[in-house]
């Protein structure tokens, strides 16, 4: 199959790949961590002892950060960790990684993924015939073949993604990329769709 040069043969930019991976990982952070401030900590509101005459330091609350079971100062609060990254950069990063896989000979294109059975051993035997393959990413249609999904479910070294969900981080996590001709055409079309500003 002749691959589109504008998608599968672009200069490999490691700096862009790094930026896109950082953007992806930051975006998926939950950011639900939380600590309690002095107004949120459970405890009494009375002044612990007199201002003067005790010989001790002056305090107005036992919920301060210096006391046991007190507040946390400047602790984390729920927030979004997402950073901004231009769509052109994201797209160029994905193109760069697709080009890298093509240059390494780690992109395999099939006519289709019509398999005879949903048995895991069928896929496992196919994978054993491939040379120097450790982890495989299968890119299928947007509606993933049910037999393929069941056959790969118990294989930790095989993952299936719909073509619309193809992303740079998942490509990096797998050493071999496998897709159908139809999916290659869909990805090329996606890469050439104008970016809405």
Report if residue 197 sits inside a domain. no
* Number of structural domains in the chain: 1
Radius of gyration for the chain, computed over Cα atoms and rounded to the nearest angstrom: 27
pLDDT for res 73: 94
Report if residue 151 sits inside a domain. yes
pLDDT for res 86: 94
pLDDT for res 141: 82
Report if residue 111 sits inside a domain. yes
Q: What is the pLDDT along the chain (197 residues), one digit of tens a residue?
A: 888 888 999 999 999 999 999 999 999 999 999 999 999 999 988 999 999 999 999 999 999 999 999 999 999 999 999 999 999 999 999 999 999 999 999 998 988 877 878 888 888 888 888 777 889 999 988 777 788 888 888 888 899 999 889 999 999 999 999 998 999 999 999 898 888 75
Domain limits at 107? Answer: 85-192
Report if residue 18 sits inside a domain. no
Report if residue 80 sits inside a domain. no
Q: How far apart are CA 119 and CA 101, in angstroms?
A: 29
Closest by CA to 107, choosing from 166, 39, 195, 43, is 166
Long-range contacts of 154-157 (CB under 8 A, 24+ apart): 154/120, 155/120, 155/123, 155/124, 155/127, 157/127
pLDDT for res 122: 83
Report if residue 1 sits inside a domain. no
Between helix 87-104 and helix 14-27 the angle, nearest 10°, is 120
pTM > 0.85: yes or no: no
Report if residue 150 sits inside a domain. yes
Report if residue 59 sits inside a domain. no
DSSP 161-192: EEGGG--HHHHHH-SEEEEEHHHHHHHHHHHH
Dihedral angle computed from the Cα positions of residues 144, 148, 149 and 155, in that order, rounded to the nearest 10 degrees: -140
The CB density around residue 147, as the number of other CB atoms within 10 Å, is: 17
The domain that contains 113 carries what CATH number?
3.40.1370.10
């Amino acid at each position: 199959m002749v691959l589109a040069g504008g998608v599968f043969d672009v200069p490999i930019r490691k700096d862009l790949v790094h930026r896109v991976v950082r953007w992806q990982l930051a975006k998926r952070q939950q950011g639900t961590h939380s600590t309690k401030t002095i107004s949120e900590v459970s405890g009494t509101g009375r002044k612990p002892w007199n201002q003067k005459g005790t010989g001790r330091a002056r305090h107005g609350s036992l919920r301060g950060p210096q006391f046991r079971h007190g507040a946390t100062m400047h602790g984390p609060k729920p927030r979004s960790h997402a950073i901004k990254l231009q769509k052109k950069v994201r797209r160029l990063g994905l193109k760069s990684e697709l080009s890298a896989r093509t240059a390494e000979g780690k992109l395999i294109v099939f006519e289709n993924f019509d398999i005879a059975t949903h048995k895991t051993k069928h896929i496992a035997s196919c994978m054993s015939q491939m040379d120097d393959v450790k982890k495989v990413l299968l890119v299928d249609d947007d509606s993933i073949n049910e037999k393929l999904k069941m056959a790969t479910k118990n294989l930790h070294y095989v993952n299936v993604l719909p073509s619309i969900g193809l992303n740079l981080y998942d490509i990096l996590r797998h050493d071999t990329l496998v897709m159908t001709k139809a999916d290659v055409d869909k990805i090329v079309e996606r890469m050439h769709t104008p970016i809405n500003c």
